[in-house]
Structure 1
Amino acid sequence: MGPKPVSEALIDLALSSSISIGGVAACGGRTSGLSGDFTLKAALTRLTAGAGCRFEIIDIHTVRILPEAPEAAGAAPTPSKPGPQPLPDPVAEILVTATKRPVAYDRLPASLSLISASQLQITGATDAAGAVRQVAGVTMTNLGPGRDKILLRGLSDGAFTGRTRSTVGTFLDYVPITYNAPDPDLRLADVQAIEVLRGPQGALYGGGSLSGVYRIITRKPEFNLLQGALTAGAAWTETGSPGYEAEGMVNLPLVHDRAALRLVAYTEVEGGYLDDVNLRLSDVDQTKRIGGRLALAVQINDTWSVTVGGAVQQLDSNDTQYVTPGPNRLRRANRIRERHKNDFGEAAVTVIGSGDWGRLESSTAYVRHAYSSLYDASAALNLYGSSTADLGVFEEYTKVDMVVEDAVLTSPGDSRLQWLAGLYGAWTLEKSPSVLRVRATAGPPVPVYVDDRSDRLITSAVYGQASYRLARGWTLAAGARVFETDLRTSSAVQAPLTGATRAFTRKAQFKGWSPQLTLQHDFQSGAMLYLLASEGGRPGGFNSGGISAPAPSRKTFQPDRLRNFEVGTKLRLFDRRLSVQSAVFYDLWNNIQTDQYLPSGLPYTANVGDGRNIGLEIEATWRPTTTLTVQANALLNSSKVTKVNPIFATRVQDRLPGVPDASVGALATYERPLRDNLSLILTAESGYVGRSRLTFDPALSPEMGGYIASKLSVQLKGPDWRVAAFVSNPNNTQGDTFAYGNPFSFGQVRQVTPQRPRTLSLLLSRTF
């Protein structure tokens, strides 16, 4: 390692040692480099000497760099209770792990966004919707908490959630937490960072990552730090009901340098703001969320560690959040409360070992995701043969159990040839019974439609990647994943009024491979240019629902495939005060899967046809002064349905639905130091969401979007406390967001999902 800035030398040390390191921007000056063999502690001591920073070895795989305390100048680095983190620099937390090995953020040949814990805190982002607004190319539907889909790069199969696997892989650390379910909407409590990796990631993550990956990286237990934190807040929504939140964390050392426990717990109520005039109820769409995480980390010896943990969350929404247009846009008239529940549970064991042979990380997890919804089905009762019924209630329930194993071995050192090899296996059982009950003027509810369905999937895969540093800054990398998925579906449909029944058990097997190829050039100035080609896809499946049996052409839906071609750059300009990353992409999507609804309100899945998308995404961060940071992002894309499957429909709009052709956003953060170690922090966040349609059928889907979402805050921060006030939607706009409401009246009446009205939130947090 030759002479270079200390921060860059620390990054190189992390990469060569296969460790995670954060906060390197705290170190200044240059180092003459390292030559010879050093222990990790000796290398860190040598590199940080005289650089105005100190280090803490959290465990054998994690190091934190902090500014050197004045009274500790020249002293040996010792653990201490950290105060509030400095204003976030998105490229300061320099190592990312979305590619399953530590990689320097600005050397990664892919389009990736990183949102640090401090940025989440300063912007008040506590869920996926609040986080993804800060990065380019990400949109979300807005049906309600626990019902939404994350969409990347304008690659949307529509807003509905059914049998198709998600286009975006959602992960808690390295554990997949969804299959074909909506996002569980986990609260971002005590997380280390959010990573958003765009483009198909079939080579590393397999099916379900067709357009990218969204990862929540949690904070891990720290061995020699006794620490706690409490947060409490309240919110008031204009024309709505109030809400509150509370969150607590404790990090408890158990054995010096060997074991620690970290516990997180939270509860919150999100006040409703819609009224149901038929039920004579106000603020019907209140949501309650309660959950937590527990992690126990044990250092077995100098090379091996084990972390055992789990996460739970229960989310209950009293009603959906759509309205029907009228004089008051925040009202509707239903016959029942359309409740929704989304319960999530996870238990995982992670084993990490490293040595001269490389680094092994194995994650074994069990996930249970259960969710259910009620709908007022009265608008479609004439299709079910019940002439005397005046009320219909449809209940759908899904329980997904997954057992997942992912083990990856990465090469040691910092040689010109780097590689990784992985094994993946998953067993998934999804049970999804649904029932439609009707009620006549007199008498109890009677079932008129029942579908008792279960799907079992067994997936196995081997994957690998190798990169080689060529001459003069060129690096070539290639990877691939070979997979096999076995599907078994059973369904029993009954129509008690007519006595009709049908049942089937069918099997299918899907095999394939997903390649990836990159070529990158690192310039001496620190800039980087890359070319990327990658693929992703989703397996097929069976349709079972409907009043009558599906037509032969709709009994199955086939796998789809996405090929991505990308050119990207990453720049650090003006003494590294301006960082820019951009990518131009061209995507070809064959046999697009989509979830749709029959006129009866029951779901089915079909292949629409082929499509393509051409786009530009860009993110920039500018720090003109030490107190001001300005971030901006944009996605400009042009999608087109190039070939329509006549079995799906005779008329399809020519663009992919649910994602606008243009979306832009900006975030400005200003921090002014005050006396007595106090700081004043001001933030302004705003984003424009362009227009698009909700579904492939333009007749059923008027244009949505064309609105601005904004948020302002003022905060006062001390050494171990913070007081913050946030105002969301300060202009009190009511743009029609990308969501639908009730599938049984969809297409019969206009359904609009407005933004939450102007909301004031107050937050108080304390660390100890």
Structure 2
Amino acid sequence: MTLSTRRPRARHALLAATALAGLVALPALAQAQESTVEEIIVTATKRDSTILDVPFSINAQTQQDIQRSGAVTLEDLSRNVASLTIQNLGPGQSQVSVRGVSAGQVVRDQPGVKEQVGVYLDESVISLSLFTPDIDLFDLNRVETLRGPQGTLFGSGSVGGTIRYITNQPKIGVQEGVIEANANMVDGDDTGGYVKGAINLPVSDKVAVRAVGYYTKYAGFIDARREGGGRKKNVNDGSRVGGRLSVLLQPTENISIIPRVVYQEIRADGFNRQEVFNLYANPNTTTRAPVRMGEREQHLLLDESFADDTFLTDLTASVGLGAVDLTSVTSYVDRKIHIDRDASALTGSVSVDLGFPSAAVPLPSKLVDTTDLEQFTQELRLSSSGDGPFQWVIGGFYSEVDRIYNQRLPTPGYDPYTNARFGAGTAAAVANGFPLNSPYNASLPYNIKQKALFGEASYKREKLTVTAGGRFYDFKETRQFKSGGLFANGDNQTDKTDSSGFNPRVLVSYEASDTVTFNAQAAQGFRLGGVNDPLNLPLCSAQDKAIFGGFQSYDDETLWNYEAGVKSRFGGISFNSAIFYTDIKDLQTTLDAGSCSSRVVFNVPKAHTKGIEAEFSARLAPGFDVGVSGSLLEAEFDSTVKDGSGAVIGGIREGNRLPSVPNFQISADATYSWRFRDSIDAYVTASVQHIGSRYTQASDQENNPRSFTSGLAFGGATGTVPTIVDLKLPSYEIVNFSIGLEMDNGVDIIAYANNVFDENPLLSFDRERGGRARLGYSVGQPRTMGVTVRRTF
């Protein structure tokens, strides 16, 4: 079945589900008033409160929401959260945006770019630009999405918002646990599954331990064509293994100490890349067999891999001092990421440009990216603990990050061709101390230090609560850059950047009744600037060198977010909605520097986002729950950036859309549960998720659809036959279905089908060397069917 025939079925299902929810809701409102659901407690303001009491827009997906939706990644969850967008760039390389605040595709070779959404595991910062941690969702209490800038309490990485994974904590005096097993099949021919377990053990009346362990095998769904006509199936399979161990020490009622250790390993044997052109596999060759790649196919000379080892240890201590609570959060993260990517087409395309003989062009070439990160953070805060009208929190934050990023391009046999083309000894002369037979090498050690003071206070008078706060920050970054090899400049330089400032926030909340609250806020967010890597000048065309060569450093990005919202809850019905406007200054926008095989970041003077988001859930009758969430968004540039000739650079034109975010997304779900037998409950859940069209980079909306020509004569191809690509990523719909049995003895059995209509969502577009080497998409997971068995005790 083709993509075009699948999509109407999914769209019809979305419309039908939404209409059904609306039709059923009207006559069931009276019943819903008497049917209540459990209130969700969140800690978005650094204190326990209900969603209704939080004075800004927030979503919380509970453990039951996660289980019944079948979500296994943050990307899965994002489709059910209004205004949250995940751009999947491969394993461990997702980018997160909230409310359309996005700078476009940031990839592995831009380690200096800072994140726009902060990510926390409980109280510990785990954000890392380019590599959003792929945390296992097992034994989580909830996942909180805080929309809008959260710089006051959560720092610079939260310019668009903050995501918080909240785990289940150890419980004193309680012995409980859960074990869960799964088997699934993806795309009808590869199998995966997992085994996970958690246990809470009381050691004494003052000590408890909670341990979590998991192993997951991911099925693959991408096939790789090989040289000589071979094929390797399901090359992007992988695994995840890890665990958490935390101890609660509570010597007195007012003292709580929780040390914890978290470890996780992720392995992938390839990437979810679907190619439409490859230098070695395209339909235009004559001396090589022509190849036209199909859905979920790519071409490889070398196997690819991804490895991510994360170790985190933290210590959270709280002391009650009467009317004041003292909290200390100390964390240390050691993370190592290793990526092997088949860069043969990239190296081969350069070889053609440099006039190398045809025998040099298909040499296997591997790009090895490594990241070695150590991060230490310390937060200390005081907060009021009483129930009086005046509440406050004040604290200090310090972090130091040492990050070493390396790139190597081992290409056995390349130096003899280099010396033959440019003269004996050339390869050794340009190596700059790096290994031979590696035409590109770079080492980038970073040291980043941040200090901050923050505070927030609120005063409640009758039904009106006013909150004001701010964060003073001071940031220093030192970066070295050394490169070597034929494709590099032989750089050896040190750059320093620093920044300081103050970010304020004001919130107003009005309780119209016990069940309806109105709120408004004005908040400033910030993202720290940095320095671009030098262009790979030996690879650049004269035009690309002139266009992109002038962007060395980029300034802090700042924005003001203005929003007004309503939160309501009537028995089993809740409705939350907000309208917002975000005024962005010096948006850090990423552009592909064409033939240079580089990417640069520069500031766009003005941009904005505005929109409306809404989330509705209702228990329409005993056992019947429905939910709808969605957002309508406008995210555009308000400035035009031109080069010296007057041409618009990279699609940065006033009125063009900000990249990677849809204008419209919506999800609808319904669950019906009933007593199946005396000791068994049953339920059926269906959900439909719609994600609107997007662009990967800002430039993609210029001259689109676009004609890519490699300009390279190889394999009998002239290099002038175009590959036509529509760079507007089409909208897509995902339909999920599950049926479950919940037994009184603690056993649950769930059968599910995700992506029922086998949609092939195009998530982002990648062009290597501006399309001279390779063109492809990151694509989503196809139809997945499975069974999960869970036992709680």
Corresponding residue for residue 194 of structure 1: 143
- Structure 1 572/400 Cα, relative in aligned 2: closer, same or farther at 3 Å? same
- Structure 1 657/753 Cα, relative in aligned 2: closer, same or farther at 3 Å? same
1:763 equivalent to 2:763? Answer no
Cα distance in 2 for partners of 1:498, 1:137 equals: 41
What pairs up with 1:1-20 in 2 under 5 angstroms? Answer: none
Of 524, 528, 532, which residue of structure 1 is paired with 2:517?
Answer: 528
Question: Deviation at 1:482?
Answer: 0.3
Do 2:471 and 2:504's aligned partners in 1 also have CA atoms closer than 8 Å?
Answer: yes
Of 67, 72, 92, which residue of structure 2 is paired with 1:126?
Answer: 72
1:567 equivalent to 2:564? Answer yes
* AA matched with 1:518: L
What pairs up with 1:637-716 in 2 under 5 angstroms? Answer: 637-646=633-642, 649=649, 651-652=651-652, 654-698=656-700, 699=702, 702-716=727-741
Of 594, 617, 621, which residue of structure 2 is paired with 1:621?
Answer: 617
Do 2:153 and 2:454's aligned partners in 1 also have CA atoms closer than 8 Å?
Answer: yes
* AA matched with 2:681: S
Do 1:485 and 1:509's aligned partners in 2 also have CA atoms closer than 8 Å?
Answer: yes
Match of 2:662, SS? Answer: coil
Cα distance in 1 for partners of 2:759, 2:696 equals: 20
Cα distance in 1 for partners of 2:572, 2:377 equals: 42
Corresponding residue for residue 52 of structure 2: 106
Higher relative contact order (CA 8 A, sep 6+): 2
Cα distance in 1 for partners of 2:81, 2:343 equals: 38
Of 385, 408, 414, which residue of structure 1 is paired with 2:381?
Answer: 408
Corresponding residue for residue 345 of structure 1: 311
Deviates more, 1:524-533 or 1:681-690: 524-533
Residue-by-residue CA offset, 1:70-118 (whole Å, 9 max, x unaligned): xxxxxxxxxxxxxxxxxxx997333210111112211211100011112
What pairs up with 1:573-612 in 2 under 5 angstroms? Answer: 573=570, 576-598=571-593, 599-612=595-608
Deviates more, 1:642-651 or 1:296-305: 642-651
Corresponding residue for residue 555 of structure 2: 558
* AA matched with 1:359: D
Question: Deviation at 1:727?
Answer: 0.2
Do 1:453 and 1:490's aligned partners in 2 also have CA atoms closer than 8 Å?
Answer: yes
Of 64, 87, 92, which residue of structure 2 is paired with 1:146?
Answer: 92
Residue-by-residue CA offset, 1:165-186 (whole Å, 9 max, x unaligned): 1111110001110232321211
Match of 2:345, SS? Answer: helix
Match of 2:410, SS? Answer: strand
Of 437, 454, 469, which residue of structure 2 is paired with 1:463?
Answer: 454
- Structure 1 538/632 Cα, relative in aligned 2: closer, same or farther at 3 Å? same
Question: Deviation at 1:249?
Answer: 1.1
Question: Deviation at 1:606?
Answer: 2.4
Do 1:390 and 1:439's aligned partners in 2 also have CA atoms closer than 8 Å?
Answer: no
* AA matched with 2:518: L
Residue-by-residue CA offset, 1:582-641 (whole Å, 9 max, x unaligned): 000000111111334333333433224421011000000111112011011011011111
Cα distance in 1 for partners of 2:667, 2:759 equals: 17
1:479 equivalent to 2:465? Answer no
* AA matched with 2:629: N
Deviates more, 1:366-375 or 1:393-402: 366-375
* AA matched with 2:313: A
Of 698, 707, 718, which residue of structure 1 is paired with 2:743?
Answer: 718
Do 1:389 and 1:441's aligned partners in 2 also have CA atoms closer than 8 Å?
Answer: no
* AA matched with 2:213: A
What pairs up with 1:74-85 in 2 under 5 angstroms? Answer: none
Match of 1:200, SS? Answer: coil
Question: Deviation at 1:260?
Answer: 1.0
TM-score, normalised with respect to structure 2: 0.81
Deviates more, 1:694-703 or 1:720-729: 694-703
Residue-by-residue CA offset, 1:40-88 (whole Å, 9 max, x unaligned): xxxxxxxxxxxxxxxxxxxxxxxxxxxxxxxxxxxxxxxxxxxxxxxxx
Do 2:90 and 2:778's aligned partners in 1 also have CA atoms closer than 8 Å?
Answer: no
Deviates more, 1:595-604 or 1:266-275: 595-604
* AA matched with 1:652: I
Match of 1:401, SS? Answer: strand
What pairs up with 1:534-553 in 2 under 5 angstroms? Answer: 534-548=523-537, 553=550
Corresponding residue for residue 757 of structure 2: 731
- Structure 1 215/500 Cα, relative in aligned 2: closer, same or farther at 3 Å? closer
Question: Deviation at 1:126?
Answer: 2.5
Deviates more, 1:516-525 or 1:142-151: 142-151
Of 213, 237, 241, which residue of structure 2 is paired with 1:265?
Answer: 213
- Structure 1 624/363 Cα, relative in aligned 2: closer, same or farther at 3 Å? same
* AA matched with 2:268: S
Do 2:275 and 2:293's aligned partners in 1 also have CA atoms closer than 8 Å?
Answer: no
- Structure 1 240/607 Cα, relative in aligned 2: closer, same or farther at 3 Å? farther
1:185 equivalent to 2:134? Answer yes
Corresponding residue for residue 363 of structure 1: 329
What pairs up with 1:440-519 in 2 under 5 angstroms? Answer: 440=413, 446-470=437-461, 472-495=462-485, 497=486, 501-519=490-508
Do 1:184 and 1:343's aligned partners in 2 also have CA atoms closer than 8 Å?
Answer: no
What pairs up with 1:365-404 in 2 under 5 angstroms? Answer: 365-381=331-347, 382-383=349-350, 385=354, 387=356, 388-391=360-363, 392-404=365-377
Aligned length: 674
Do 2:323 and 2:386's aligned partners in 1 also have CA atoms closer than 8 Å?
Answer: no
Corresponding residue for residue 251 of structure 2: 300
Cα distance in 2 for partners of 1:432, 1:268 equals: 28
Match of 1:739, SS? Answer: strand
Question: Deviation at 1:301?
Answer: 1.5
Match of 2:52, SS? Answer: helix
- Structure 1 130/552 Cα, relative in aligned 2: closer, same or farther at 3 Å? closer
Corresponding residue for residue 55 of structure 1: none
Which ranges of structure 2 fall in alignment gaps of 5 or more residues?
A: 1-34, 277-291, 417-434, 539-544, 707-725
Question: Deviation at 1:438?
Answer: 2.8
Match of 1:118, SS? Answer: helix
* AA matched with 1:330: R
Cα distance in 1 for partners of 2:641, 2:188 equals: 46
Deviates more, 1:91-100 or 1:182-191: 91-100
1:313 equivalent to 2:294? Answer no
Question: Deviation at 1:493?
Answer: 1.2
Match of 1:147, SS? Answer: coil
Residue-by-residue CA offset, 1:396-444 (whole Å, 9 max, x unaligned): 1112211001122111211111111011000111100112233448989
- Structure 1 752/362 Cα, relative in aligned 2: closer, same or farther at 3 Å? same
- Structure 1 409/750 Cα, relative in aligned 2: closer, same or farther at 3 Å? same
* AA matched with 2:480: S
Which ranges of structure 1 fall in alignment gaps of 5 or more residues?
A: 1-88
Corresponding residue for residue 193 of structure 2: 244
Question: Deviation at 1:372?
Answer: 2.7
Cα distance in 2 for partners of 1:742, 1:142 equals: 15
Match of 2:156, SS? Answer: coil
Higher helix share: 2
Do 1:91 and 1:105's aligned partners in 2 also have CA atoms closer than 8 Å?
Answer: no
Of 234, 245, 260, which residue of structure 2 is paired with 1:283?
Answer: 234
Question: Deviation at 1:754?
Answer: 3.2
Do 2:94 and 2:130's aligned partners in 1 also have CA atoms closer than 8 Å?
Answer: no
Sequence identity of aligned pairs in percent? 25
CA RMSD, Structure 1 to Structure 2 (Å)? 2.3
Residue-by-residue CA offset, 1:118-150 (whole Å, 9 max, x unaligned): 221222223212222221111111223312112
Cα distance in 2 for partners of 1:746, 1:372 equals: 25
